[in-house]
Amino acid sequence: MNWTLTDLPIIQGPMAGGFTTAELISEVSECGGLGSIGAGYMSPEALRSLIRAVKARTQKPFSVNLFIPHPVQVETAQVEKMKEWLAPYYKELGMSEVPGLKFDPQLFEKQWDVVLQEKVPAFSFTFGHLNPQQMQALKSQGVYIMGTATTLAEALVLQEQGCDAVVAQGAEAGGHRGSFLGDTFQFIPTEELVRTLAGNLKIPVIAAGGIFNRQGLERVTAVGAAAVQIGTAFLVCDESGASCEYKQALLAATPQQSEMIKVFTGRWARGLTNRFTAEMKKHEEEIPAYPIQHWLTTPLRKRAQELGQTDFQSLWAGQGLGSLQPCSAREFMKKLATPL
């Protein structure tokens, strides 16, 4: 069974990092929305296992999201300098040194094979676009395809490529920016971006960024959105894989604590201010590009999560903080589906 925008137009954001559990994804889909696997960092084995776990819990459609890879150029001197700056933080958390770069250059290809083999109902992607062969492979399986855009130019590329819909990622959206054209990142407010895309595209526009409740949903649909993609509000749901400390930080945060951050991964992302972001900000211009900085800080962030230490975790969060409420995914979906 494939998903279409004629169903309940609510997509649970595909947040990478272990937050999108089988329980969360299946519950959203069971409620008529579209649950999503944030698979950007998952091993192919873990991805296959999660896809099958979701299928075991629901027969309703769901989506898988992957990150489009880009060529990686490691500059040794820059990496060594960053390791010097990171070393005190690693030591503070009981780690003797900053681990060397550890990554699988074929990760996307392996994840891609799993997506095709498991025949998922819907697929979304960010940081770029698919090639014609990849697009055709999905279309031959009847997969609903969604690309991420932060500008009209990017959205037009995705439409030309053959996407069924475009996710309009506004400046308010939590997590990494999906920008892929040009050398600078664009930060266009969600409503403005949706209005522009809806007026220039022939395919549906999905609004993402700063949407936490039914009021926000109605606001973006009024300017042309066919559906909404919500991330941060699902993080505080019971079924989310976010740690207790992360959930508590989100629930206690104010809108002023959400800012654009580059120091954790080398790519602009919106999240909560903490000690690491404040102290590392002075090095912002010298940060290795994504995903090198991501690889350098991953062990630190993982250790911080194990210790319940939020000062060294990347606490991605969209704007609209201050209005989040802990509840089950089913309760939240009911609130979203109920007209004001």
Which tens digits make up the pLDDT trace of 247-281?
Answer: 999 999 998 899 999 999 999 999 999 999 999 99
Question: Is position 234 within any domain?
Answer: yes
Question: Is position 1 within any domain?
Answer: no
Looking at residue 5, what is its pLDDT?
67
Distance CA 205, CA 185 (A): 20
CATH number of 22's domain? 3.20.20.70
Give every residue of the chain whose pLDDT is below 50, as ranges.
1
Torsion of CA 196, 199, 202, 207, to 10 degrees: 50
Q: Where are the alpha helices (DSSP H) in 7-106?
A: 22-30, 44-57, 76-92
Domain that holds residue 317: 10-337
Residue 65 three-state SS: strand
Question: Is position 196 within any domain?
Answer: yes
Helix 329-337 to helix 214-221 angle (10° resolution) is: 50
Q: How many domains does the chain have?
A: 1
Question: Is position 2 within any domain?
Answer: no
Closest Cα partner for 210 from 232, 226, 188, 225? 232
Question: Is position 3 within any domain?
Answer: no
Question: Which residues lie closer than 8 Å to 35 by C-beta, 6 or more apart?
Answer: 12, 20, 24, 25, 26, 27, 28, 29, 54, 58, 62, 63
Looking at residue 6, what is its pLDDT?
61
Question: Is position 5 within any domain?
Answer: no
Which tens digits make up the pLDDT trace of 283-318?
Answer: 999 999 999 999 999 999 999 999 999 999 999 999
Question: Is position 4 within any domain?
Answer: no
Residues 147 and 125: beta-carbon distance below 8 Å: yes
Residue whose structure tokens are 């900053």 = 98
Looking at residue 3, what is its pLDDT?
59
Distance CA 257, CA 42 (A): 29
Taking residue 151's Cβ as centre, other Cβ atoms within 10 Å add up to: 20
Residues 281 and 235: beta-carbon distance below 8 Å: no
Strands 205-208 and 35-38: unpaired
Q: Which element (helix H / strand E) includes 336?
A: helix 329-337
Residues 232 and 318: beta-carbon distance below 8 Å: yes
Residues 144 and 121: beta-carbon distance below 8 Å: yes
Which residue type sits at 275?
A: R
Looking at residue 330, what is its pLDDT?
97
Say whether pTM exceeds 0.85. yes
Distance CA 38, CA 40 (A): 6
Looking at residue 133, what is its pLDDT?
98
Taking residue 238's Cβ as centre, other Cβ atoms within 10 Å add up to: 15
